[in-house]
Amino acid sequence: LARSVEMDEAKAVLSRAMVATITGNRPQVTAGNVSELLCCTFKFEEGDFTVHTHRPEDFLIIFGSRTSMDRMRGDHLISCPHFALSLRLWCKLAHAGCGGFEYC
């Protein structure tokens, strides 16, 4: 049962997530750079989201609330002079990893 609760909580968090991929010549970009670009472009404030490194895409953006995420509905291509990002919703089928299963 605890495993199911953990999975449900993870699904709830990821339902408020987007993935960001660096496009173009792929310069080195930090989570802080991504955060700054999102704040400047979409007028977010500190605490509206968190940015995490993520593979195979470059970053996972988790919004603190559905309201914040709703401001980002749809796919986006945003840029600044240093880099460009392709943003899209996190999708379990496209972005979930696999792991081993333990049998009791």
Residue 78 has pLDDT above 80, yes or no: yes
* Integer Cα distance of 96 and 104 in angstroms: 24
| 97 within some domain | no
| 32 within some domain | yes
Which domain, by its residues, includes 75?
Answer: 2-90
CATH number of the domain encompassing residue 10: 3.30.70.330
Share of the chain above pLDDT 70, in %: 85
Q: Residue 62 pairs with which residues in a beta bridge?
A: 17, 50
Q: Count other C-beta atoms under 10 Å from residue 82's C-beta.
A: 10
| 101 within some domain | no
| 58 within some domain | yes
User: Closest Cα to residue 20, out of 93, 70, 85, 80?
Assistant: 85
* Integer Cα distance of 59 and 52 in angstroms: 5
Reported pTM:
0.79
Note whether 22 and 29 are within 8 A (CB): yes
| 79 within some domain | yes
Residue 104 has pLDDT above 50, yes or no: no
The gap from C-alpha 35 to its chain's centroid, in whole angstroms, comes to 11
| 96 within some domain | no
| 62 within some domain | yes
| 15 within some domain | yes
Reported as a pLDDT band with limits 50, 70 and 90, residue 73 is: confident
Reported as a pLDDT band with limits 50, 70 and 90, residue 1 is: low
Integer distance in angstroms from the first to the last C-alpha of the chain?
14
- Domain count along the chain: 1
pLDDT: is 4 or 78 the higher one?
A: 78
